[in-house]
Structure 1
Amino acid sequence: MPNETQPILQGGNNTMYTQGQPQGYPPQQQGGYPPQQPGYPPPQQGYPPPQPQQPGYPQPQQPGYPPPQQGAGGGYPPPQQGAGGYPAPPQGSYQGAPGGPQGTDEPSYKGDIPDDDVEVNPDNAAGAAPIASAPPLEKMDQVAGYNQMDAPLPPPPPPSYDEATQPTERAGIEQTPTLTDEEAREALLSYVAENCCYGKKAAKNLHVNDLKHTAAFHYTLETFTEKRTTKWVNEPFSGQPVDGPQNGPAPLPWSIAVNIPAMFTNSIAKVEVPHTASVKPCHDCHSMGFRRCHTCLGRGRTRCHHCHGHGRRHVNHYDHHEKRHISRWESCTFCHGRGRQRCFTCHGHGQITCCTCKGRGSLKFFIQLTVNWINHMNDNIVERTALPDELIRNVTGQVAFKEENARIWPINHFPDQAINQASRELVQQHSGAFQQERILQQRHQVRIIPVAESLCRWKEKNFSFFVYGFERKVHAPDYPQQCCCGCTIL
C-alpha cells in the first residue's frame, strides 16, 4: 500500500507502469517527494525547486519571525526592548501584506507541526478561521467601583414626585371637527377607488339614513430611561494614547458625563472610562504578532484535494485512432505531480497574522462604558363603536392634552373617566418597572380622533362604514359591491 506522505508512482495492476514510467510522466524523483524521506516539511534540496527570493519579504530566519519563546508568568513572554517596556510590534505582516510576496517555499512557522499531511476540509475544526478572543477576567487590573461587569449597574435613586410639581391648572379639552354627509360620501368613493375589485355604484347611489359622530381617545405614556453597563475590551496597540491609573483614580460609572443625543429616542453610546487603560502582551499569540495557520497547521503545504496526495489522476478519454475509450493515469495538473499544494491561507508561510492584535503583538486594555437610552411607551385606546381599536393608533388626531416633566402626575381632569383610570394605572406601572435604569424624563398626552359612522342603504341592502382620523380613513367591511373573482363590476 503506498505511503500517504508521497505521490503514488506505481500503478498497481496497470501494466503500463510495470515496465517503467509512462511517456510524458515525470520521473519518480523529479520534482516529486522522496519515498523514504520521513516527516514533512520536505528537505531543502529537490523539493520544491528553489525560487528566487522576492523583494519586500524577509527571509524566514530574519528578524520579524522569531521562534516561540518560553512563556513567563501569566502565560506571557518576557518583555522585550520597546516603548514603555512592552515588546515592539513585529515588522511587516504575515498574510498578504502590500508589496510582499504571494508565497514561499519553506514554512516560517517553527512551533508544533503535525507529521502527516493536512487534508483541506472546511467542515473540519482545523479549517475554521480563528476569531479574536478575550483574556480571562482574573488577568485584568482591579479598578475600584468596577467589580460588576457585563451587567446593568444599579442607578442612583430616581426623582421623587416632590421634585415634579403637580400642575394646579390644566387646559380644557377642545371639541373635535365633524363631517357632513357629502364629506363622508367622498371619503367612501376614495376608498373604493383604491380597491380595484370594488364597484362604484353603491358609493355613488347610496342613501344615508344616519350619520353618527363620536370620538376615540388615545392616551400614551413615555418614560425615557438610561441604562449603563461596563466591560473590559481590548484593541491592537499601535502607539495611541494610554490613559492609565497613573493619571488618577477612575470615576464611578454613573458620575461620567455622557451627552444625550435626543430625548425620547432610542440610542446607544460607548465611551472609554478614564484612567483604566493599560498595555499588555497579546494573550493569543504571546506577543509574536502571528499564529499557526489554521488551514495547514503550520506545514505551509496541504494535500492536493484533486488527486488526494497521489500526484496523479485516473482519466478516461476517447482514442480516435483505435476507436475506443482508454483509461490511463496522468500526472495531476493542479499539483504538478507532487501531491501537495501551497496553502492558500498562509501562502506557504505556515503562519498568519494574529486576528486579536492584528500583528502588533500588544493590546490596549480599558474598561468600556456602554450607555443605552431607551424610550418605554405604553398606550390605551378608548373607542366605543365597532371600529377596531388598532386602527385608531395609526391615524392623526387632535392633541387635547400634553405634559412633560422629570416625573409626571396622572391625569384627573379628562371628561372621559376611562382615560383618567388608564393614566393612573400606566403611571403607577412605570414608576416601578425599570429598577435597573435611571428615569430621565416622562411625558404623556391624549389625542382625540374623530370617528363618523354612516348608516346607509343601497338596493334594499343596509350597510355601514366608518370614517376616522384627520386623514379620513375608511373602514367598510360590509360594502355591498365587492368582487373576489375578477374586476368586472363597474
Structure 2
Amino acid sequence: MDLFREVLDEVEIRELLIDHVGHRCCWGSRPARTWKIHAVEDCNVYVGTLDTFIEEREVVRETEAHLGGNIDGKDKGPELGVWELDLRSEFPVLFVLNKETRATIPHSETIEKCSGCAGRGDRVCPDCNADQEPGYYKENRMNQCSACHGRGLIAHRDGSDTICVKCNGKGKIPCATCSSRGLIKCETCRGSGSLLSRNIAVVKWKTLSTRKVGATAGAASVPDEVFHQAKGVQLCNTQAYQCSPAFFADSYFLNKFSSEVISERAQAPPKARVICERHTISVVPVTRVTMSHRNRSFSFYIIGYSREVYLKDYYPSRFCWGLCPCLEWLKL
C-alpha cells in the first residue's frame, strides 16, 4: 500500500541525524556530517491493536464503629445484587485505561457485636493487666515509679534524700495507659460495643490491549514499542461489541494481519463483562538509512510522520568515559 509522503533527500536525512546526535552530550557529529549515505530503504511497518473495554464488580464488607442512629437494613427493602446497581452516573469515557469507584449496596447494613471487646466497649489494659486471663482484670494496680525506682526518695550526692515528686514518696504510680482502671476504651468500636457493617460494590473499568507489529526484515531490529508510539496513518478503525477482522479488497497481507490481531484477543477475567471492542490498523512510514566510510558503516531509522530518529546501538563517534551525566558508560 502506497503512502503519500515527501521523499527525504540527503540534506534532510543529515539534518535529522545531526539533531539526534546533538542531544547526546558525548556523541560527535562528524560521521553524521561527512560519511557517505550508502543506501536509503523504505520499510513501512503496520501496527494493529485490539482494545477490549471491560467492567468488573466485586463485593467487599466494610465495618465501622456504630455510634447510634438509623441503619439501612433489610427491613427497608431487599438487598440489591452487585450487577443490579445503576452506576450510569459513574460510567467513564470508553477505553479509559483504568477507573475505579465504590458504591454502598442499598439495604445491606447490619449491626454486629464488636469482636474486639465482646460488646463491652472496653478492653483489658495490656500494661497493668498483661498477666491476667482473657476477659479478667484488676483495678487499682500500680506500677513502680521510674524516677525513684520504688524507693519514694531521690538520693543526692551529698548523701541526703528528698521525697520523689513524681510519686509523692509512695514509690508507685498509676498505670499511664488506663490510670489504673484496668480497662481501656476499645479502639475498634470506639467504646460503643457495636459495629456497623455494610456491603460495598467495588467497580473497575479497564482496557485490555492486544498489540501486534508487522515489520519487514529491514525494520525487524527496532523494538515494537517504538512503532506503537510513532505517528502513522490509520487504515481502519472499527468499534463493536466484538470486533471481527477488517477487510481490505486490495491487500491479502492486511486481511491476514487483521485476523492475527483479532485471534490474539486478551482474555477478560471470568467475573468481568465486555462492554465493547475497538480494532485499528495503522501504517507507520519507516526509512532505513545506511551510512559508510571506508570499511565501516552503521544504520539508523527515521520513523513516523514526526520523523523520529532511532539508532539502536552502534554509532562510530561516541566518547563516554563516565564523566558526563548520560550514563552510557554503564552499558559497556
TM-score, structure 2 length as denominator? 0.75
For the residues of structure 2 that align with 1:183 and 1:305, how far apart are their CA atoms?
A: 86
Tell me the distance in 1 between the aligned counterparts of 2:304 and 2:172. Answer: 74
1:365 matched residue in structure 2: 197
1:189 and 1:204 in contact (8 A); partners too: yes
Change in CA separation of 1:251 and 1:414 when aligned onto 2, cut-off 3 Å: farther
Asked if structure 2 preserves the Cα contact closer than 8 Å seen for 1:412 and 1:420, the reply is yes
1:487/1:374 CA distance change after superposition, 3 Å: closer
Check conservation: 1:225, 1:437, Cα contact below 8 A.
yes
Which residue identity is paired with 2:92? P
How far off is 1:443 after superposition? 0.8
Task: Extract unaligned runs of 5+ from structure 1.
Answer: 1-171, 320-328
Would the alpha carbon gap of residues 251 and 195 (structure 1) be closer, same or farther in structure 2, given more than 3 Å must change?
Answer: same
Over 3 Å counting, the alpha-carbon distance change for 1:208 and 1:308 in structure 2 is farther
The whole-number CA distance in structure 2 between the counterparts of 1:173 and 1:334 is 92
Judged with a 3 Å threshold, the aligned counterparts in structure 2 of structure 1 residues 224 and 198 are, in CA distance, closer, same or farther, namely same
Residue 481 of structure 1, aligned match among 313, 317, 322: 317
Find the partner of 1:405 among 240, 248, 252: 240
Q: For the Cα contact (< 8 Å) 1:226–1:440, is it kept in 2?
A: yes
Distance 1:444 1:378 in 2: 10
Q: Judging changes above 3 Å, is the alpha-carbon distance between structure 1 residues 406 and 345 closer, same or farther for their aligned structure 2 residues?
A: farther
Please say if residues 145 and 166 of structure 2, whose CA atoms lie closer than 8 Å, have aligned partners that are also in contact.
Answer: no
Matches within 5 A, 1:285-296: 285-296=117-128
Whether the 8 Å CA contact 1:176–1:398 is kept in 2: the answer is no
Equivalent position SS for 1:480:
coil
Q: Say if 2:210 is the partner of 1:375.
A: no
Q: How much has 1:415 moved relative to structure 2?
A: 6.5
Pairing partner for 1:274 from 97, 106, 115:
106
Give the Cα–Cα distance (whole angstroms) in 2 for the partners of residues 471 and 246 of structure 1. 64
1:191 aligned to which of 20, 23, 38: 20
Contact 2:231–2:305 at 8 Å: present in 1 too?
Answer: yes
| 2:44 counterpart SS class | strand
Q: Would you say the 8 A contact 1:221–1:379 is kept in 2? A: yes
Q: CA deviation at 1:283?
A: 3.1
SS in 2 for 1:430: coil
Task: Please state which structure has a larger fraction of its residues in helix.
Answer: 2
Letter in 2 for 1:264: F
Q: Deviations over 1:105-147 (max 9, x none)?
A: xxxxxxxxxxxxxxxxxxxxxxxxxxxxxxxxxxxxxxxxxxx
Which AA in structure 2 matches 1:213?
A: D
Cα gap change, 1:452/1:341 in structure 2, threshold over 3 Å: closer, same or farther?
farther
Residue identity in the other structure for 1:377: S
Aligned match for 1:442, one of 265, 277, 288: 277
Contact 1:229-1:369 within 8 A present in 2 as well: yes
Map Cα deviations across residues 25-58 of structure 1 (whole Å, 9 max, x no partner).
xxxxxxxxxxxxxxxxxxxxxxxxxxxxxxxxxx
CA contact (8 A) 1:453 1:464 kept: yes
Give 2:193's aligned amino acid.
G
Q: Please, which of 228, 236, 245 is the counterpart of residue 393 of structure 1?
A: 228
Secondary structure, counterpart of 2:51 in structure 1 = strand
> Which residues in structure 2 correspond to 1:297-316 (within 5 Å)?
297=129
Instruction: Write the mapping of 1:244-259 to structure 2, written as runs, cut at 5 A.
Output: 244-259=73-88
Equivalent residue, structure 2, for 1:201: 30
Aligned counterpart for 2:92 among listed residues 248, 252, 261:
261
Of 183-192 and 384-393, the range deviating more from structure 2: 384-393
Which has more strand, going by share of residues?
A: 2
Bigger radius of gyration among the two: 1
2:284 aligned with 1:453: no
Given that residues 240 and 277 in structure 2 are in contact (C-alpha distance below 8 angstroms), is that contact kept between their aligned partners in structure 1?
Answer: yes
Displacement of 1:440 after TM fit? 0.8
SS at match of 2:56: strand
Structure of greater relative contact order (alpha carbons < 8 Å, 6+ residues apart): 2
TM-score (norm 1): 0.53
* Residue 472 (1) aligns with residue 295 (2): no
Sort the Cα spacing of 1:480 and 1:287 in 2 relative to 1 into closer, same or farther, 3 A: same
